[in-house]
Structure 1
Amino acid sequence: MRAAYASSSKPDAPLSALTVDDRLDPDPPDGWVTVDVRASSLNHHEIWSLRGVGLPADRLPMILGCDAAGVDPEGNEVVLHSVVPDPKDPRGYSLLSERHPGTLAERVAVPAGNLVAKPAGMSFLDAACVPTAWLTAYHMLVTRGRVADADAVLVQGAGGGVSTAAVVLAVALGKRVYATSREQWKRDRVAELGATAVAPGARLPERVNMVVESVGAPTFEHSMKSARPGARIVVCGATGGHLATVDLRRVFGMQLDILGSSMGTAEELAELLTLMAERDLRPVIDSTYGFSAVADAFARLHSGEVFGKVAIDHLH
C-alpha cells in the first residue's frame, strides 16, 4: 500500500526525512481492525516526528499521521481516535505514528474501541480534521477549562489548527472570544470567525475567565495579565518556547489555575462530532491535497503560513 513515512530523522531539515513509497499492509493484532482511509490531515506532530522528537531511530521507518476518517471492515463510515493506551509511555498512552503505524496510508490498523461513527452529513475531509486539533481544543475548553462557567475567552496564537478550532468552538458556545496573532492577515481571518482580533500583548477590553495557551514563553505573561481572578489558563503546547516566566504573586494573588491539557478521549470525540453536526460547524481548512501530492502538503504545513488544517484526500 502507498504510505508517507519517516525514513530517517533530520532535526534541521525535517522534510528531507519524509518518504512516500509502498509499505506492507497492516497486520492487526487481536482487538484491532483495519480501516480503509478516505481522508487524513496533518499536524505539527508530524514535523516534530521527522525531526526525531518522540520518534527514536529504533522505530524507523514509521508511517506518519494521527488523523483520519474512513470505512471499517463492516462498511461503517468512521473517524479514528488516535490515542492508544501504552504502559511504556510515561503519559500512559501514545499516538498513532509514535509506536504504531499512522494514518498517512491507504489503510491503518487501530483498536476497535478507537472507532467513532462519522456523522452522516459530514464529509470525510472535514471529519479527518477533527481527531487531534479539534479534539484538543474541545478538551481544553470543555473539560479542563470549564468554559460553561466562562463568558470571555482568550485564544493565543490564532492561525494553527488548535487555536482556530478553539475560536470556532468558543464562539459557537456563546462566549466572547479574543484572539491574538502577530500577522495582520491572520487577525483579519480570525475576526471572520467571530472573534475580536488583537495584536500580541495588547490590552483586552476586559479580562477573561479562560485562556487557551499553545504558544508558551512569548505570550504567557500576557495570558496571566489578561486573566480575571479565578481564571483558568489551559496549556496544550509551547510552539514559541517552553521556558515561560511565571510571576507566582499573580498566580496566588489572583487565584489562577494553570492547567496542562493534551488530546481527549474517544467519548469526547463522539461528543464533539455530535456538537459539530448539530451546530453545522465545519473545520477551518487551509488547503487540501491529493495523496499523490502529500509531500507538497507537508511543505505547506512547514511554511508557517497555514491558517487552519492541511487536509489530504486519499482518493486522489
Structure 2
Amino acid sequence: MSIVPEPIAACLTAINQKSSSAFITPFTQDAILIDEGRTDKGRDAIQAWCEKALLSHNATIKIQQTITQQDRTIVKVIMDGDFVEDYGITEPFTLYFSFQIKDNKIHHLLITPWDSSRPSMKAVYLDRANANDPISTVKIAPRPQQDPPEGWVRVKIQAVGLNYHDIFTMKGHGMHPLTFPLILGCEGTGTLAEGTPVLLYPCMGSPDFKGDETLDRTRNVFSELTNGTLAEYVNVPERNIVVRPKELEVESAAVLGIAWLAAYRMLVTKSGLRAGQTMLVQGSSGGVSSALIQLGAAAGMRVLCTGRTAAKRELGLKLGAEKAFEAGQELPEKVDAAFDTSGEVTWEHSMNSVKTGGTIVTCGGHGGRTIPVDVSRVFVEQINIRGSYLGTLQEFRYLIDFVVAKSIKPHIGLVVSMDEAEVGFRKMLNGETAGKIVVRM
C-alpha cells in the first residue's frame, strides 16, 4: 500500500477491513464513483454502494499493479468474495480501480474489468438484455477504445440517430447472436482524424459478396456484430465512409443511415411509384414514417398518412402529407402503394387501402410480426407485397444527393446529450416520437 497515495491506500485497505465508514473517509463530499455504468454521486451514495456491492458480498482484494498517469492512479486488483449467486461472476476476478485525487482527497473513482490505463471513451452500452424492461439495461460510462482492424478507420462521432433497432437489441433480439458488453447505435456522423466530415453507411457484410449487399446473409449493422456508434469514437470499414456535403447539417446527417435510407429504398426501389401517384404511410411520427412523408412529398407523390393522435396527424400534414387520417380509418380513395412499418396492427388496413394491382412495402414489425393475410385477395386483386431492408451503399449516396438537391431538412423531434440517451430511448419505446431523436455528442 505504500506505493499509492495515502487516500487511495486507506480506501483499498477499508475493503479488506469490511468498513464502509473507513472506505468513504478519503472521498470528497461531492465525489463521483462509476462502477460499470452505474454512477453514484456524494459520500452517502458511495458508502451505500460500498455496503451493497462489496461488504454484502464479503469482498476482499489483493493489489497486483499500480499505474500512475498524468491525472490518475490506476490500481489493478484481484477481487474475491461471494459474487457468483448474484452476478454469475467466476471468482477471483480482475478489476481496475482508477482514482483521481483533489486536495489530497478522492474526488473520482472509476471501476472497470478492463485496463483503464488504456485509451478510453464515453459510450452508451449494454452488458445484458432484458425483454421485459429493456431501458433498464442501458449504461453510460467509459469503455476501452479498440484499435481499428486493417481496412477500417476511426471516426470521432458528432451525432447519432436513435432507432427502434436499439430497443430490439436491449430486448435481446437480433439477426445475429448478440455478444455483451455491446455499444448501442446503428448510424451517425462524425469526422476522420484529419477533420474530414463524414457519414456512416451502416450495412456491413462479407467483402467477397457481389451485388446488392442487403441480400448478403452475413449482413449486419453497427451494434450487431461490431460495437455501435453511441460512443465518442467508432471503428468503421473504409468502404462505409461517405464524405458529408457541406450543405448537410450535423443532426440531419446523423439520421440518414437507417430510417431515411430504409424509407428511400422502400419508396424509390421497391414501390414502383411515379410522381403524381398516391401513397399511404402508416404512421406519421416515427423515424421511417416521417422520412417517407418528407421524401414522398419531395418526389411529387400525393401522400396520405395515419396518426394515433391529433398531434401526430398534424405533424404528418406539416411534413408534407396531403391528408392525415386516424389509425385504421377507411380512406376516401384507394392508394397506389401503402408503406407499412408496424406489421400486425396496421396490416389489414394496408391491405384494405391499396388499389387492385397496388403494392404494399413493409420494412418492420414493431406492432407484431405475424400478419393476417387473405391470400385470395392477394392473387385475385394482384396485390404486390414487397419486403425491404435498409438500402445499398449506392442508394445511400443517391439519398444524400436527393436530400441536398431538394433542400430537405429531416424532421428532428428531439435532440439530447449522451447522458440523456435513456430519455430518447424511453420516448421511442413509449411511442412518444415526433420525428427522429438525435444524440448530440
Into which bin does the TM-score normalised by the smaller protein fall? over 0.9
Separation of aligned partners in 1, 2:157 and 2:357: 44
Residue 73 of structure 1 corresponds to 193
CA drift of 1:157 comes to: 2.1
Partner of 1:254: 381
Question: What is the rounded CA distance, in whole Å, between the counterparts of 1:218 and 1:134 in structure 2?
Answer: 22
| CA shift in 2, pair 1:296/1:182, >3 Å | closer
Q: Among 183, 202, 212, which residue is 1:82 paired with?
A: 202
1:200 aligns with 2:327: yes
Which residue does the alignment assign to 2:228?
102
> How far has the Cα of 1:86 moved from its partner?
4.8
Is the 2:178–2:224 contact (alpha carbons within 8 Å) kept by the matching residues of 1? no
Which residue of the partner structure matches residue 174 of structure 1?
300
Letter in 2 for 1:36: K
Unmatched 5+ stretches in structure 1: none
Distance in 1, matches of 2:391 and 2:353, equals: 26
How big is the shift at 1:11? 0.8
Other-structure match for 1:161: 287
Which residue of 169, 176, 190 maps to 1:49? 169
SS at match of 1:147: coil
Superposed, 1:260-299 pairs within 5 Å as 260-299=387-426
SS of the residue corresponding to residue 320 of structure 2 reads coil
Aligned to 1:236: 363
What is residue 30 of structure 2 aligned with on the other side?
none
Q: Secondary structure at the match of 1:219?
A: helix
SS at match of 1:189: helix
1:272 and 1:9 map into 2 onto residues whose CA distance is 33
In structure 2, the residue matched to 1:126 is 252
- Please give the TM-score of this superposition, normalised by the length of structure 2: 0.68
TM-aligned CA distance change 1:58 to 1:198, over 3 Å? closer
| CA shift digits 1:59-105 (9 cap, x unpaired) | 10000001110112342211001111059x98330111001001000
What is the rounded CA distance, in whole Å, between the counterparts of 1:296 and 1:219 in structure 2?
Answer: 27
> What is the one-letter code of the residue matched to 1:39?
A
Please tell me whether residue 22 in structure 1 is matched to residue 142 in structure 2: yes
Contact 1:186 1:307 in 2 (8 A): yes
> What residue identity is the alignment partner of 2:189?
A
Q: CA deviation at 1:150?
A: 6.4
The count of corresponding residues between Structure 1 and Structure 2 is 314
Tell me the amino acid that sits aligned with residue 199 of structure 1.
E
Give matches, 1:183-194, under 5 Å.
183-194=309-320
Structure 1 residue 33: Cα displacement: 0.8
Q: Choose which of 8, 25, 30 in structure 1 pairs with 2:128.
A: 8
Match of 1:117 among 243, 266, 269: 243
- After superposition, give the CA deviation of every residue in 1:192-247 in whole Å (9 maximum; x if it has no partner): 12211011222223211111111111221211121112211101011111111111
Q: Where does structure 2 lack aligned partners over 5 or more consecutive residues?
A: 1-120, 208-214
Residue identity in the other structure for 1:77: P
1:307 aligns with 2:434: yes
Which residue of 1 is the match for residue 180 of structure 2? 60
Query: Does structure 2 conserve the Cα–Cα contact (< 8 Å) formed by 1:9 and 1:57?
Result: no
- Render the CA deviation track for 1:173-195: whole Å, top value 9, x for unaligned: 11111101222210111111221
1:141 aligns with 2:261: no
Distance in 1 between the 2:174 and 2:335 partners?
Answer: 34
Can you list the C-alpha shifts for 1:277-306, whole angstroms capped at 9, x where unaligned?
A: 111101111100122322222233233211
AA paired with 2:431?
A: G
Write the letter of the residue equivalent to 1:41: G
1:258-281 C-alpha deviation (Å, 9 max, x unpaired): 011110011111111111111110
Identity, % of aligned pairs?
37
CA distance in 1, matches of 2:270, 2:424: 32
CA positional deviation for 1:249: 1.6
Instruction: Select the structure of larger CA radius of gyration.
Output: 2
The DSSP-based 3-state class of the residue aligned with 1:23 is: strand
CA separation in 1, counterparts of 2:219 and 2:172? 19
After superposition, the Cα gap between the structure-2 partners of 1:300 and 1:225, relative to the gap in structure 1 and judged at 3 Å, is: closer
The 2-side partners of 1:145 and 1:55 are apart by 25
Residues 261 and 56 from structure 1, CA distance in 2 versus in 1: closer, same or farther, beyond 3 angstroms? closer
Residue type at the aligned position of 1:95: V
AA matched with 2:296: A
